[in-house]
Structure 1
Amino acid sequence: MDKKFKTVDSSRISISQLMQPSHSNFGGKIHGGYVLSLMDEIAFACASKHSETYCVTASVNTVDFLNPIEVGELVTMKASVNYVGRTSMVIGIRVVSENIRTGETNHCNSSYFTMVAKDDDGNTTQVPGLILNDKIEVKRFLKSLKRIKNHYARQEEFDHEDFSLENYIEDLEGHRVKIELPDC
């Protein structure tokens, strides 16, 4: 296989861990920060496996906690490379909890971590391209492209030097917000 491209399957990772009382929050559920830490670890492993180099987290997109995780449940995280740029990768992660006594499973979280490959000197380095083998992989790549495009469009819209609040006041109507700006 050409080393300049790798399949999604070649860097797919799955980990499982039993949730213990030390991982719980004050409400008795598994702490979201602990789950995020595990997600960051699997994103690192997946990205490093694809790039064959050290990787760092550049951003985390869309972290929705869908269902709580209970102490004593087995949590399984699955990660795959959804998108590659020149030096970055978007790693898709799915988190599922399982009651090991009943076998009942719950989808708890899905998220997208953008990871950047680094060389031994700490500089960004090029990553292998991605070989997409099925419609789901193509769809995930396209969804990542769309998220990236929307991110840059939003950034340009609100960070542009011609930005004016007056153009957006109507958008705030009907929301629970009160604007009290000092006269300038």
Structure 2
Amino acid sequence: MNIDYDAIGLDYMGRYYSYGFSFRKSVKLTLKGNEQELVRIVTTLTIIDFSNNMFDIEIPQVISELNSLKGLNLSHNKITGPIPQSLANLTNLECLDLSSNRLTGEIPPALVNLNFLEVLDLSKNKLVGVIPKGKQFDTFSKDSYKRNIGLCGSPLSKACDHVEGKLPQLASSTNDKFEFCWKPVALGYGCGMVFGMFME
């Protein structure tokens, strides 16, 4: 059965790239055990899946230049370092899976601007700080962030109240109150002594 892809209004990578090569050759795609031949590569299949490898590098900045990318899966590797803020340049991204790595640092707030992001998995890393809020990030469940002991904020149950930073202030204010309470007592005691000696 031949399908006229142009007739049904699909776009192809070959129309957008002019680097001297073509994406119009046919490829065989196997999904869930079913093999299908694609005459040309549809742009909706612009995904990168490097999951389940042994990569132990940081996420390359060059990935942020792949503007047509719709899916990025780097899960189950040993990727280190922070999540690059430049991933926010992937404005067409619909799926981002960076789970089961060794990523550190905070989640870049700029990722909130990925308006088409439907799937996010940052679980099982070493991320810290407050989970960004707004737009698509308000739709993700706690499963997207689980097993990052340094993360806090909604949708996780761990609040970001920074109690540790307030402890020194509480201690100093307690000392101030303690000193304030003893000053009148010492003053009264001194006056009482003088008055007592005068009465004798």
TM-score by length of 1: 0.25
Q: Which structure has the larger Rg? A: 2
Q: Could you say which structure has the greater relative contact order, defined with CA pairs below 8 angstroms and 6 or more residues apart?
A: 1
TM-score by length of 2: 0.24
